[in-house]
């Protein structure tokens, strides 16, 4: 995978699953922004995949200098 394709995949996933996510919106409403963010990065499968792609992007970024 190259940098552009990873960035495109991140954008597509965010647009498809995260934008307007009911779960995130409800947690944010009930428990605040921090709790919603914590849910996304620690419990959501989409959040886990986004983290993985971000790490892959960082690996590529360090090798392209």
pLDDT at 64: 60
Q: What is the pLDDT of residues 7-64, one digit of tens each?
A: 999 999 999 999 999 999 999 999 999 999 999 999 999 999 999 999 999 998 766 6
Domain limits of the chain? Answer: 3-63
Q: Alpha carbon of 56 to those of 2, 32, 39, 49, 59: distances in Å?
A: 9, 30, 22, 11, 5
pLDDT at 47: 95
Residues 3 and 47 sit within 8 Å (Cβ to Cβ): no
pLDDT at 1: 74
pLDDT at 63: 64
pTM value is 0.80
């Amino acid at each position: 995978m190259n940098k552009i394709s990873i960035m495109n995949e991140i954008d597509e996933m965010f647009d498809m699953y995260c934008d307007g996510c009911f779960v995130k919106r409800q947690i944010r409403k009930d428990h605040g922004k921090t709790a919603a963010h914590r849910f996304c990065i620690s419990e959501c499968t989409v959040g886990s995949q986004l983290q993985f792609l971000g790490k892959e992007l960082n690996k590529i970024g360090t090798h392209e200098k």
